[in-house]
Amino acid sequence: METPNSTGDRIAQYLKDGKRFDGRKPGEFREIFVETGVSKKAEGSARVRIGKTEVIVGVKMDVGAPYPDSPNKGNLMVTSELLPLSSSRFESGPPKFPAIELGRLVDRGIREGKFVDFKKLCIKEGEKVWTVFVDIYTINHDGNLLDAAAIGALVALKTAKIPKYDGETGKVIYGEYGDEMMPVSKEIPIVTTVHRIGDSILVDPTLEEEDISEARVTIGGSCEGKVFSMQKGDSGDLSIEEMHKILELSENVRKEVFSKIDKFFK
Amino acid sequence: MAKDFKRPDGRGVEDIRPMKAEVGVVPNADGSAMFSFGNTIAIAAVYGPKKMHPQHQQDPKKGTLRCNYNMISFSVTDRIRPGPSRRSTEISKITEWALEPVLMIKNYQNMVIDVHINIIQADASTRCAGINAAALALAHAGIPMRDIVSSVSIGKLDKQLVVDVDKDEEDWEEGEGATDIPITMTSSERLTHIQLDGKISNDELKQVLELAKKATKKVYEVQKKALKESLEVKE
């Protein structure tokens, strides 16, 4: 169900006083819960809950040909499915724009943040490299699927083991693993989204808040203050001052989010 | 900023490639325009406002802006397979979001404005050229607008900020590599679109916004001139 106007107006009114329905401050996240090993068949997987929002992310790997412009690097494919089971708003069928956007934003967060060392995923230059598939599935949609998916992708990749590969037959032996783990960097690129509703700037919206959001900026960056990827969404505009505020809030939020998932990266 | 920084094509760091703009390039359309940054050429055509079809997509509260960004298969070195891709789908949506704030879209209930953007020749910054052409085509179609939007890409090559990134610069690998930041603003300095790929600090980003403010003003002048000229020629 869409959020009724009366509810939307009240959310906006509350925000003017810096208040939200669930008692959070505008710059505050809901409780983040992360669990790994969701599927034993996956090379790595994670479940992320942010409040009532839940996604599962799995990593599968296969050996294939490299792209001509990167003969010595492995490939990355991030896709997402907004499952009809997770919300009455999602329908089955070919992916529509929101699913494509979710996949691409997570993809660029990982790629631009240089989280995976793709050079280490080269088996034979120009011929055989690992392709890493990161697949995102929504389980329950209560706003901010994107930030949840981005966290899930990081943790799933971090915990992924590389399956054995038989160089003679050219086949991957799924289910058998050596000691090789996914080569990931120490610097963790966190992707978070900041929204503007009226004159208020907030993070981690619930579904109702997301419905009345006028503009949003998704920013991927490190806890050390670097920004790697950014994209503005929705048809509202922003002043330059608002953009400055968004950049600063985003940097703080990255640190907060990382502090909740850092146990997976030790 | 280093004064002796050399861009591959010899431009100054704040120089935009030669810009060309022309409206009325597609006579069949309700409005159309061409916009180019050097070797990057985009054309855009507007059809509408017209009744949205199929009917179930009609929005009784406001009109719909529907953009379609497409690269011609021979616009780049390696032929692009015709048809939509994930990249083109995303750019189409981003273009809608960049343009919608200046349209009075509420006035067109149940209607749709179609904007078709085609990239004829690509040398980076294609989405910016596409947005500039689309903004011109909408104005040329006589659709009431609060303002016009102007788009330009800001780049960071190693540590140096530059305006209007071309393909050689997009592929910059020395030092910190290339960061590409396409930005769209209204002439009253409201941000309607920003994207970023690369690595940059918050302080540098603030400088990027200042550069974009100046650069989009230059694009705006070119757009304004093209629209004025189109009115003068008719006799």
User: Any idea what the CATH number is for the domain that residue B154 is in?
Assistant: 3.30.230.70
Q: Which residue of B has its CA nearest to A100?
A: B86
Please, which pLDDT band fits residue B9 given cuts at 50, 70 and 90?
very high
Chain B closest-CA separation from residue A164 CA (Å)? 32
Whether B2 is in a domain gets the answer no
Does B6 reside within a domain? Answer: no
Closest-CA distance, B196 to chain A, in angstroms, reads: 5
Answer whether residue B113 is part of any domain: yes
Q: How far is CA A185 from the centre of its chain?
A: 17
Answer whether residue B126 is part of any domain: yes
Pick among B65, B96, B97 to test the A interface (most A CBs inside 10 A):
B97
Which residues of chain A does B200 touch, with a Cβ-Cβ cutoff of 8 Å? Answer: 226-227
Number of folded domains that form chain B: 1
Residue B234 has pLDDT above 80, yes or no: no
Q: In order of start, what are the domains of chain A with their CATH numbers?
A: 10-265 (3.30.230.70)
Complex ipTM: 0.76
Yes or no, beta carbons of B101 and A229 under 8 Å apart: no
For residue A246, which residues of chain B lie inside 8 Å, CB to CB? none
Tokens (6 digits) for B48? 């509408």
In a domain, B7, yes or no: no
Query: In this structure, is residue B8 part of a structural domain?
Result: no
pLDDT tens, residue by residue, B34-81 = 999 999 999 999 999 999 988 999 999 999 999 999 998 888 888 788
pLDDT tens for A92-140 read 878 899 999 999 999 999 999 999 999 999 999 999 999 999 999 999 9
Q: Do A238 and B190 touch (CB under 8 A)?
A: yes
Range of the domain at B81: 19-233
Please tell me the predicted confidence (pLDDT) of residue B233: 56
Is the pLDDT reported for residue A167 higher than 90?
no
pLDDT over 90 (residue B231): no
**Testing the interface with A: which of B56, B86, B208 to mutate, by most A Cβ within 10 A?**
B86
